[in-house]
Amino acid sequence: MRVHQVTFAALAVAAGLALTACQNDDADQAKPAAPTATASTLPTASTPTTAGATPTGTNKVSSSPGPTHTKSGTTCATGDLTITATDHTIDGDKDRTVVVELKNHSGHDCEISGYAAVTLDTTAGPLNAGQSGEPVVPGVVKNGKSTFFGITYPNNNSGGTGVRITKLVVSPPGDPKSVTLPWPGAASLPVTDKAGSPVKIGPMGSAGQGG
């Protein structure tokens, strides 16, 4: 996935501009609301589901490229995987956690390792997740089994609305094709003026129970 990196400082500024626009609505009621950014604006993202999509649904991409072959087997492609996301935050944790599951339904074992490409669609624009820095371990996902990775992000304890999250866009390692999922975690991120992304992801196999 090739998207422009957006710092969280930029999101904070955009969120502030959105608030100012809302205050100006009293003076100009005819002005329509600005459209929310969606995954369709991302070069490698599939068209997102509608706002009423159920959390259990997944968007499988069409025309997924065929899997590549390595010396020891076949690399997992987006079309080989059913990708879902679940909130796995534990009470008392400093940060919140969403776990992404990638289940192999290809009919054959496949190899997967490294970091996925993850983008959160927000009301202030797309936000790319950063890598946690954990070591990458090569892995094989057997047919019918799953591998997992975690997404961590800060609690919004500011008392404000923050930056609202609308969608989750995921591309497996090495495949530009993506799926767009409903966001299962907290509704918003806290506004901050710090540079960089507060959202981090672990490598394949860094969460849950692999198969």
Strands annotated E in the chain: 81-87, 95-104, 110-112, 117-122, 125-128, 130-131, 139-141, 146-154, 163-171, 179-182, 188-189, 200-201
Residue 81 within a domain: yes
DSSP 3-state assignment of 163? strand
pLDDT given for residue 61 in this prediction: 39
pLDDT at 13: 38
> Would 58 be classed as within a structural domain?
no
Question: Residue 52 has what pLDDT?
Answer: 36
Structure letter (DSSP) for residue 137: -
Is 56 a member of any domain? no
In a domain, 42, yes or no: yes
Mean pLDDT value across residues 48-74: 41
Of 23 and 80, the structure prediction assigns the larger pLDDT to 80
C-alpha 20: how far from chain center: 28
With 50 as the cut, is the pLDDT of residue 159 above it? yes
pTM, whole model, 2 decimals? 0.64
- pLDDT tens sequence across 145-156: 999 999 999 998
11-55 pLDDT, tens digit per residue, is 443 444 443 443 444 444 444 444 433 333 333 333 333 333 333
- Domain membership flag for residue 207: no
Mean pLDDT within 153-171: 89
* In a domain? residue 193: yes
Helices (H) and strands (E) in the chain, counts: 1, 12
pLDDT of residue 148: 97
Contact 118, 36 (CB under 8 A): no
**208 in any annotated domain:** no
- pLDDT value, residue 97: 96
pLDDT at res. 196:
67
Q: What is the pLDDT of residues 83-132, one digit of tens each?
A: 999 999 988 788 999 999 999 999 999 999 999 999 999 999 999 999 99
Range of the domain at 177: 8-50+68-201
For residue 209, tell me if it sits in a domain: no
Q: What is the number of domains present in the chain? A: 1
